[in-house]
Amino acid sequence: MTKFLVDRMLGQTTKWLRFMGIDAKYAPKGDDEKLLEIAEEEDRVLITRDKELANNDRVMLVEKAPPEEIIPKILKIYDTELKPLTRCSNCNTLVEKIEKQEIIGKVPEGVLERNDEFWICDGCGKVYWKGTHWENILKKIDKMKEKF
């Protein structure tokens, strides 16, 4: 499966790739050479709007557009497997199911009362559950999938 390094100009694209379960690392600040070095070392495709990087076969140049337009183009070209809502949208780490009693005090009381399933990120500690945002994210992913 293809992994990505996403330029800092494309933060929302990074987040939505992660929502789709795709390994998408947010590029650190640095010059073009550093970004290409990271992409090479970690076997990632660099997604960028920087035309100066476009002449490298490890780079996908995208236009300024919302993620809903960029992501279908990425998915048409690269081998990816969609596993929605399996990665942390903050840090890209895979999330793991956690028992309800283990997250007491980590989420609002109302969330705890209304939900029985929870996931946690081992990287940053963010807790996830199936709230209304969950369904909205899945609907948006389905709309993007229709385009490829």
Confidence of residue 87 (pLDDT cuts 50, 70, 90): very high
Q: What is the mean pLDDT of residues 109-132?
A: 95
Mean confidence (pLDDT) of the chain: 95
Residue 35 is predicted with a pLDDT of 94
Residue 65 is predicted with a pLDDT of 95
Using only C-alpha atoms, the chain has a radius of gyration, in whole angstroms, of: 17
Cα separations (Å) of 10 from 14, 123, 126, 140?
6, 22, 22, 18
Which pTM value belongs to this model? 0.94
What is the greatest pairwise CA distance in the chain? 53
Q: What is the mean pLDDT of residues 63-81?
A: 94
Residue 54 is predicted with a pLDDT of 86
Residue 147 is predicted with a pLDDT of 85
